[in-house]
A and B are shown apart, each in its own frame.
Chain A
Amino acid sequence: MAVINITVNGIKISKEIADNTILSDFLRDDLALTGTHIGCDTSQCGACVVHLNGNSIKSCTALVADCDRSEITTIEGLATNGKLHPMQEAFKKNHGLQCGFCTPGMVMSAVDLLKKNKNPSEQEIRDWLEGNICRCTGYQGIVAAVKDAASKM
């Protein structure tokens, strides 16, 4: 057990946790931030993607202890004052989701892409979303959403 200090969606948190606590479990079970989904739990599906100090990572394959004194952003941290993030709006508008299970990870991954590449091509979007699996949409709506968001962000 050790006390860790992390900032989650702008809120500073100090908490005693077991050394083997996984970030995705911590977010969901300790902080009730259930927007971060656990799909495969083996860092393949991408439903659990969050940002660690601004970079997208798979939270099912990160230790909370390893995130001490770091900043985490989850899907709950994207909207401001009840207004959806442009990427969330774009997913909604372009039918970028059906069942919605993969969506938080897709959105967090796509936001990271646009930070690094403001105007990605369709191929670059598809390559970037390599680590996010969707079993409903066939990806067409998702790619359209990311393109749409890129034009507005």
Chain B
Amino acid sequence: MKSFNFKSATNTKEAVKLISGRATFLAGGMTLLPAIKLRLAAYSDLINIKKIKGLSGIKVSSKSLRIGSTTTHAEVAASKEVGKSISSLAILAEGIGDPQVRNRGTIGGSIANNDPAADYPSACLALNATIHTSKRKISADKFFTGMFETDLKKGELVESIEFEVPEKSSYAKFPNPASRYALVGVYVAKLKKEVRVAVTGVESCVFRCKKLEDALSSNFSSSAIDNVNISSKGFNADIHASAEYRAHIIKVMAKKAVSSC
């Protein structure tokens, strides 16, 4: 493994200050460490942010649910507060990777990495989330900009993710049987003002499906999805699934999500 310096920060300011040259933040390391080991990435310094106390934890109000960036998937899955206010989010967390990944992997790491098949980015889009960083607030709609790309600037640290508490919501995933990443994941949320449908695993970046949102806005039922025509243009095609197959599965997952709302 290529050499690097490991430094632990005790607060956000210190963490941000330690970022210079080829340095990056380390949370659970479930993507970062394998990437370094496989020599897909190389850094001079890893700045550990797990010792920063304020970054971990869950806060609930009637309108929003705020999760600290270093909160692990296992903590979100087991949280009674999350289960009560947005149960679909706890179910999503329970379906990420395997138990050992969930014990280490964090929500902030997941969204900052923005893997095209990760689960959490779809929750952020569907639940109209606000990403709180060391510099500003970013709406989820503007946060996810491309494959493994976000609106985060160098040295900008995700501090927490604030989700809008929906009237109803559900996440349905068709997982790759080996990796448990989403071949297709559809997050449906009926918010106070709008219906949002976010799709992951299908394009180079998570996206909102306007056709499904329009259909469900006028009639929030699984039958409303029957007549929606999803074009497979631009969809991922690989050994696991063709673009056409993914287009078909989007509707199947969307129906499943709406029926279990």
Is this pair of chains taken from one and the same complex? yes
Q: Which residues of the partner chain B approach A66 to less than 8 Å between Cβ atoms?
A: 6, 26, 29, 48, 50
Q: A20 within 8 Å of B by Cβ?
A: yes
Q: A32 within 8 Å of B by Cβ?
A: no
Cβ-defined contact, A20 with B29, below 8 A? no
Q: A interface, by DSSP: helix, strand, loop or mixed? A: mixed
Q: B2 within 8 Å of A by Cβ?
A: yes
Q: Which residues of the partner chain A approach B29 to less than 8 Å between Cβ atoms?
A: 61-63, 66
Q: B137 within 8 Å of A by Cβ?
A: no
Interface residues of B in 10-53 (CB under 8 A from A): 26, 29-30, 33-34, 37-38, 46, 48, 50
Q: Which residues of the partner chain B approach A144 to less than 8 Å between Cβ atoms?
A: none
Question: A43-B34, A66-B29, A66-B50 given as contacts; is B100 within 8 A of A49 (CB)?
Answer: yes
Interface residues of A in 47-67 (CB under 8 A from B): 49, 52, 55-58, 61-63, 65-66
Q: Which residues of the partner chain A approach B103 to less than 8 Å between Cβ atoms?
A: 52, 55-57
Cβ-defined contact, B4 with A20, below 8 A? yes
CB distance from B83 to the nearest CB of A (A): 15
The digit string for B69-111, where 1 denotes a CB below 8 A from any CB of A, is 0000010000000000000000000000111110110000000
Q: B239 within 8 Å of A by Cβ?
A: no
Closest to A43 in B: B34
Cβ-defined contact, A63 with B33, below 8 A? yes
Cβ-defined contact, A19 with B98, below 8 A? no
Cβ-defined contact, A131 with B98, below 8 A? yes
Q: Which residues of the partner chain A approach B3 to less than 8 Å between Cβ atoms?
A: 18-20
CB distance from A22 to the nearest CB of B (A): 7
Q: Which residues of the partner chain A approach B1 to less than 8 Å between Cβ atoms?
A: 20, 22
Cβ-defined contact, A43 with B6, below 8 A? no
Closest to B97 in A: A131
A-B residue pair count with CB separations less than 8 angstroms: 75
Q: B256 within 8 Å of A by Cβ?
A: no
**Size of interface on B: residues with Cβ below 8 Å to A:** 27
Q: B5 within 8 Å of A by Cβ?
A: yes
Question: A42-B38, A63-B29, A130-B180 given as contacts; is B4 within 8 A of A56 (CB)?
Answer: no
CB distance from A140 to the nearest CB of B (A): 19
Alpha-carbon distance A33/B1, docked complex (angstroms): 21
Alpha-carbon distance A29/B210, docked complex (angstroms): 55
Question: A20-B3, A20-B6, A22-B1 given as contacts; is B37 within 8 A of A109 (CB)?
Answer: no
Q: Which of A22, A43, A55, A57 has the most CB of B within 10 A?
A: A43
Q: A31 within 8 Å of B by Cβ?
A: no
CB distance from A25 to the nearest CB of B (A): 9
Closest to A113 in B: B99
CB distance from A75 to the nearest CB of B (A): 15
Q: A148 within 8 Å of B by Cβ?
A: no
Q: Which residues of the partner chain A approach B99 to less than 8 Å between Cβ atoms?
A: 56, 109, 112-113, 128, 130-131
Cβ-defined contact, B180 with A19, below 8 A? no
Partner of A61, one of B34, B46, B180: B34
Nearest 9 A/B pairs, CB to CB: A131-B98, A19-B6, A65-B6, A130-B98, A55-B103, A58-B100, A20-B1, A61-B33, A131-B100
